A and B are shown apart, each in its own frame.
Chain A
Amino acid sequence: MRIRLAPALLILALPHVAEAQTRVSRSLPLNPDGGVRIHALVGTVTVRGWDRDSVTIRGSLGAGNRLHAGGGRAGVKMFVESENDLSPAASTLEIMVPARAKLWIKTATADVRVAGVTGSIDVYVISGAIDITGRAADINAEAIDGTILIRGTPGWLRAKSASGAVSFWGTSRDVTLSTVSGRIVVDGDANPRGVFERGRFESVTGDISFRGGIERGADLRFDTHAGAVDVTLPQRGADLEVTTISGTIQNGASPARPLAGRYGRGAELKTTVGDGGAGVSIRTFRGAINIRRAK
């Protein structure tokens, strides 16, 4: 009986759900490099950069939610207030901002997408996916158990998750990616002309995979406790310093063979691949290390 009633109850409830959604549309003036702060608890936040000096907010608010927005030409702030903070309804916001805006977004359980913003971007998500595309000057993206995907060529990039994966398709002069158990994937070939100059890639058990161009004089470090590390060096090579306490090293980038670890376990490898000139350090406790060289 309960099973038969359920679809009927759902059908009866649908109009109320539809009614409960409130459409929102608002515009605010903002300087081209003004600040935008967005605070939304649950749902989806999509931000796009455009070449106008204004901000527009469109979308639908969940039942009992209210949008507050205000500010001046130097900065605008908006937040979604929920009737019930313990169980907030999901809202969907689509926000257009000046491309050079300084963007700051904080959510609880919400997916955040940003595209076409060339200013600075800060995104904090507890649980949800972060997806940022473009040539932002700098990006700081943090999640607790959400995934992070960055596509583009930010000048400076910091991305951290705990259990979520962190992926970067592009290059940056200065990048730090960190997870606990999430996988780290860096595909610099997405931007064939770009190079990495300073890179830190760290996890506890998450696997780390890297391929991309490396600037002469660069300093790249890979550090994990138990994750596997797979690094594809560029054709021009690098100066390698590889250590694993109890893992293994597979070197397919040069004829050099790893030596047994100084402490009787694990392995070490110190060698110059190709022309060298760029420092690449890889360290694991027990994660397997695989080094390749691009063809």
Chain B
Amino acid sequence: MNATDTLVEVLRSEGPRVLATLARTVGDLAVAEDALSEATIAALDTWPKTGIPDNPRAWLAVVARRKALDLLRRESARPAKETAAFRWGTEGAPGQIEEAIEAMEPETSLRDDMLRLIFTCCHPALSREAQVALSLRTLARLEVPAIARAFLVPETTMAKRLVRARSKIATARIPYAIPSDAELPGRLAAVLTVVYLIATEAHAPTGGDAVARVDLEAEAIRLARLLAGLMPDEPETLSLLALLLLTSARTPARTDADGNPVTLPNQDRTRSNRAAIAEGSAWLSEAVDRSGGVAGPYQIQAHLAAAHSTAPSWQETDWDRIVGLYDLLGSITANPVVALNRAIAVTERDGPEAGLAALKTIVGLEYSHLWHAALADNLRRLGHTSEAAGELHTAVTQAPSEAEQRLLQDRLCAVRSELR
């Protein structure tokens, strides 16, 4: 690995930690971000010449702190902050790494800083869009162009979104703090939602041609791992990591050799990522142990993902268990998509008549291609071929991505050929 690759890896793993502590000492996330960027540029310049330092995080922390001091000095309008921020005496000669390591915060305080950073990025006073963007930039250290590409928005739009979010944090004084015990459940749920949304975007891109964007999936898992490490006592945090790993296990089987999407019934289970299944299952049982018999929504979804990922085939899936899990999930979250997936499982367990009846009770999915496709599947199995074709036609027009459109179009052609 050359210096640049190592630097990129170090920045992604250590950058958020350096930033978290710097943001607290400086009292300004935007200044801390700018300082870390400048430190990164300095590292890119220095490391190839001098070699990678023994303690890269300490190196980055020292340089970033010095850059932050410079930045605050330049902003002469903020003299009060400058004196308040620098308690560690960063005025010393450059290169005093040993001293910096001694001054570096102990692990517990670093953990608190990381939690502060996470809860600030996902503060409910920020829009969900802003929370997602900040999490990917600040916590996952993705570059702005990469985030913009992932969400199919122009780079300038994403850059503006981030600038606006950071300036709201500063201007509206969103606190750089860990929520109180009373607030924690709701605030943690918001953080998990952000990570879950990043993962969902990876599995079902809302536009474009890619079937799955593996990069976002990896980022979501990376963030979930970070959260699980920081909050190992929160069962839903562990369940989310389990869910993402178990779902990602099927990613290789989601596309065929030509890059076309393969739906769950037709996926080749031998192509599943066994390491991801094993790790996801281990996290899931850890989550079960810690949840005291009360399964949260992510735990139930992780059980569902496990049931699918460990089934040898669609036919040999434990549909009774899956229907039961969806019943449980439906009882704690009123979500029509849960009802849709339950109805699909009912079809497999009890036949198309029961499945069709279950689908018809669902309200609110009139504009979902998945609902129309499920209706079509049951109608076709019952021999109502022309009605099935009608539903598939609706599904094609409502499909959100080209890949899904193609898949449904092929199915429609197959149904139409049965009509002749």
Q: Indicate, yes or no, whether A interacts with B.
A: no
List residues of chain A with CB under 8 Å of any chain B CB.
Answer: none
